[in-house]
Amino acid sequence: MAELFSEAWMKDFATHWNAEPELADALSQIGFNSVIGYGFDGDDTPKGVLIVENGKAVGGEAYNGQTMNWDIRASEEQWNKWIAKPPGMMGLGMAFTSRKMKFMVGDYSSMIKDPRMAGPFIKSFSVMGRV
């Protein structure tokens, strides 16, 4: 298994993302375009990024100065817990309010209030478990 959020891991994540209708198809319906960074709390930059165009992941790569729409951070231990047992809406809300999950870029509150984005965001954690 590739190191969490490494370029190899991100490429595999992109493949699984596109294979999940509750992610790619749902986000395609709202024309979702983003560069999403994933990384570890306390690091200066994210480790990896997922490039999404019209809901589909068109790239997964190591962070290399890309401008991000979202930059999500947590401890490596926390990420591994979520990958092993994906959280639901309540678990993510608690993680955000307790600062176990941090959005360095992006607005968690507005995203989670929009069911068209909240459902796919929650689904992304179970997709991570397939990588």
Summarised one tens digit per residue, pLDDT across range 9-45 is: 999 999 999 999 999 999 999 999 999 999 999 999 9
- Is there a contact between 35 and 68 (Cβ–Cβ < 8 Å)? yes
Q: Does the pLDDT of residue 67 top 70, yes or no?
A: yes
- The answer as to CATH 3.90.79.10 being correct for domain 7-128 is no
Query: For the chain, what are the domain ranges?
Result: 7-128
The three-state secondary structure class of 82 is helix
Global pTM value:
0.93
Summarised one tens digit per residue, pLDDT across range 114-128 is: 888 889 999 999 999
Report helix angle 76-84 to 115-128, nearest 10.
90
Please, which residues bridge with residue 59 across strands?
A: 51
